[in-house]
């Protein structure tokens, strides 16, 4: 490629060609070419609008459309020759279009700039990716609901400080994960509203003198609204920051879930089994079955958090309007999208395949004096002040620790040595089943409440 060809799209003002290293250093085509579909989509809409506004003829519009369709086919067939000398996806496609259809290809850029073009492409691309991520998130949430429904009455210990606290059901615990992801999905869909605004028409920074019809372009591209200030339209990247923020929250939730899965698959807990297809072995220890999927998802959290900080730092000192700094917006955003999508896909495949070890869970709840609070509540209902009841039960637990007996295993005479308010009916509240069933209110762990919450969850996912 000659110097003249290299600079054909913007080089009229320059007296020498770009330094070879600078050319490589400033090019973005190696990573922004993944937006080729959106770039072509935006260009076809722009050509349609220009023809309707009388800036292009119908024949010119049709030639541009046909040329762009052929270029899209070349790219998808792997026959397109990407050039670093042409810097980015936009100039590569425009140069190829001009090669194919001649001077008409040069008319496509009328009334726009790479500044509003790239801002439009990123929004189109991210909108598409959000829709794909939403599908994976909904699939994961459905898997959690299915598991929660199956395990609505499966008893396990609930923890605070990783110490046995009170009995809950496995289904109830899974629904806690569901609630985290439900909020993540709300944030994702809310972010989409602000992504779905059209920058095209802002041109370089001040708008254009051509009789463009931004509302028509908005309609053609399916945006909800246009960006109403040209300076802001080309320089805004807070939609990308917002996405990375919600992505960081979502992978943080997945990391918390991963931590529990890693603990629960250990021999010390043995609460669940993960199928072999989600695990790996050890090169030296033949007995090992490592929960690699949740471990890796847990590890990727820092990666997405880092992308959020990168974009915040990128934007913090930029004056209006567009600056070359903004070329650095794409790689963090692209990787945040890819990482979140991959984590969600892995979890959506894995969660339905979890196999709970129900008896192990139940025994763990039985061993940990999980019904101590139920005994305290029982005494309060008998008229004992709560603080006195707390002390009574504490002494009963100390006795149980000494005798290696759970509260439910003590005789009535043993229990009555701590309070004469304890009668035969105490054993109704000291069973694990009685404990979880007693919490029969919205948000409680009772099996009936878990099933009701699952039904509500399905309505949310399918809305």
Q: What is the pLDDT of residues 137-171, one digit of tens each?
A: 999 999 999 999 999 999 999 999 999 989 999 99
Please state, in angstroms and rounded to a whole number, the distance separating the CA atoms of residues 441 and 438: 9
The Cβ of residue 404 has, within 10 Å, a number of other Cβ atoms equal to: 8
Burial of 177 (0-12, 13-18, 19+ CB in 10 A): buried
Token pair 């101590």 is found at 372
Q: What is the DSSP letter of 270?
A: -
Q: Are 208 and 201 in contact (CB under 8 A)?
A: yes
pLDDT at 242 over 50: yes
CATH of domain 115-362: 1.20.200.10
pLDDT, tens only, 97-128: 999 999 999 999 999 999 999 999 999 999 99
Q: What is the DSSP letter of 280?
A: B
Q: Which residues pair with 355 in a beta bridge?
A: 273
Token pair 């149980």 is found at 400
Model pLDDT, residue 15: 60
Please state, in angstroms and rounded to a whole number, the distance separating the CA atoms of residues 460 and 248: 23
pLDDT at 8 over 60: no
Q: What is the largest CA-CA distance in the chain?
A: 101
Q: Where in the chain are all domains bearing CATH 1.20.200.10?
A: 115-362
CA end-to-end distance (rounded Å), the chain: 54
Residue 195: its H or E element: helix 170-195
| Fold held by 3-110 | Fumarase C; Chain B, domain 1 (1.10.275)
Please name which of 456, 450, 409 lies closest in space to residue 155, comparing C-alpha atoms: 450
Instruction: Name every residue whose Cβ is closer than 8 Å to that of residue 382 and which is 6 or more positions away in sequence.
Output: 421, 422
Token pair 């974009």 is found at 311
Which one is catalytic: 161, 317, 411, 441? 161
**Pick from 17-21, 135-139, 237-241, 287-291: least confident:** 17-21
The runs of H, that is alpha helices, within 209-276 are 214-221, 230-235, 238-265
The whole-model pTM stands at 0.92
- The mean pLDDT value of the chain amounts to 94
**Pick from 47-61, 303-317, 392-406: least confident:** 392-406
Report the percent of the chain where pLDDT is more than 70: 96
pLDDT, tens only, 214-239: 999 999 999 999 999 999 999 999 99
CATH architecture of 367-462: Orthogonal Bundle (1.10)
pLDDT at 1 over 50: no
Q: Are 240 and 35 in contact (CB under 8 A)?
A: no
Q: Are 332 and 310 in contact (CB under 8 A)?
A: yes
Q: Where in the chain are all domains bearing CATH 1.10.40.30?
A: 367-462
Please name which of 184, 181, 88, 85 lies closest in space to residue 142, comparing C-alpha atoms: 181
pLDDT at 409 over 60: yes
pLDDT, tens only, 348-385: 999 999 999 999 999 999 887 888 999 999 999 999 99
Helix (H, G, I), strand (E, B) or coil at 153: coil
Helices first, then strands: H and E counts in the chain: 21, 6
Q: Which tokens in the block code for residue 416?
A: 């009555």
pLDDT, tens only, 172-183: 999 999 999 999
Please state, in angstroms and rounded to a whole number, the distance separating the CA atoms of residues 33 and 18: 21
Q: Where in the chain are all domains bearing CATH 1.10.275.10?
A: 3-110
Model pLDDT, residue 32: 97
Residue 285: pLDDT band (50, 70, 90) is confident
Query: What integer is the mean pLDDT of 320-336?
Result: 96
Model pLDDT, residue 16: 65
Model pLDDT, residue 298: 97
Model pLDDT, residue 2: 41
**Residue 161 is among the residues annotated as catalytic for this protein:** yes
**Residue 282 is among the residues annotated as catalytic for this protein:** yes
């Amino acid at each position: 490629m000659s110097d003249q060809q290299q600079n054909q799209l913007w080089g009229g003002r320059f007296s020498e060609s770009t330094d070879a290293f600078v050319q490589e250093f400033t090019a973005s085509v190696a990573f922004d070419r993944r937006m080729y579909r959106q770039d072509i989509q935006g260009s076809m809409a722009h050509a349609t609008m220009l023809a309707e506004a009388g800036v292009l003829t119908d024949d010119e519009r049709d030639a541009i459309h046909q040329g762009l369709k052929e270029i899209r086919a070349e790219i998808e067939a792997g026959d397109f020759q990407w050039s670093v000398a042409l810097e980015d996806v936009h100039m590569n496609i425009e140069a190829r279009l001009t090669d194919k259809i001649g001077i008409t290809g040069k008319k496509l850029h009328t009334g726009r700039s790479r500044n509003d073009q790239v801002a439009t492409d990123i929004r189109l691309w991210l909108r598409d990716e959000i829709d794909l991520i939403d599908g994976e998130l909904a699939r994961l949430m459905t898997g959690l609901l299915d598991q929660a429904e199956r395990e609505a009455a499966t008893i396990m210990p609930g923890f605070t400080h990783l110490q046995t606290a009170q009995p809950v059901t496995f289904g109830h615990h899974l629904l806690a994960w569901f609630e985290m992801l439900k909020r993540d999905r709300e944030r994702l869909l809310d972010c989409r509203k602000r992504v779905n605004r059209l920058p095209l028409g802002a041109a370089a920074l001040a708008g254009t003198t051509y009789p463009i019809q931004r509302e028509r372009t908005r309609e053609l591209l399916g945006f909800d609204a246009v960006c109403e200030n040209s300076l802001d339209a080309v320089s805004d990247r807070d939609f990308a920051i917002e996405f990375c923020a919600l992505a960081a929250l979502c992978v943080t939730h997945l990391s918390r879930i991963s931590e529990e899965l890693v603990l629960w698959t250990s021999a010390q807990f043995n609460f669940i089994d993960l199928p072999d297809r989600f695990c790996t072995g050890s090169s030296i220890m033949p007995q090992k079955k490592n929960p690699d999927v949740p471990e890796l998802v847990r590890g990727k959290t820092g990666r997405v958090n880092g992308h959020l900080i990168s974009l915040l730092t990128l934007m913090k000192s930029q004056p209006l309007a567009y600056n070359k700094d903004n070329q650095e917006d794409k790689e963090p955003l692209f990787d945040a999208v890819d990482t979140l999508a991959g984590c969600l896909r892995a979890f959506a495949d894995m969660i339905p395949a979890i196999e709970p070890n129900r008896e192990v869970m139940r025994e763990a709840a039985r061993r940990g004096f999980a019904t101590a609070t139920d005994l305290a509540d029982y005494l309060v209902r008998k008229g004992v002040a709560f603080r006195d009841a707390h002390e009574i039960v504490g002494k009963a637990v100390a006795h149980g620790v000494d005798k290696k007996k759970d509260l439910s295993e003590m005789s009535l005479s043993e229990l009555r040595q701590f309070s004469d308010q304890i009668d035969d009916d105490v054993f109704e509240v000291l069973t694990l089943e009685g404990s979880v069933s007693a919490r029969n209110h919205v948000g409680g762990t009772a099996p009936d409440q878990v099933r009701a919450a699952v039904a509500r969850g399905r309505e949310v996912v399918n809305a």
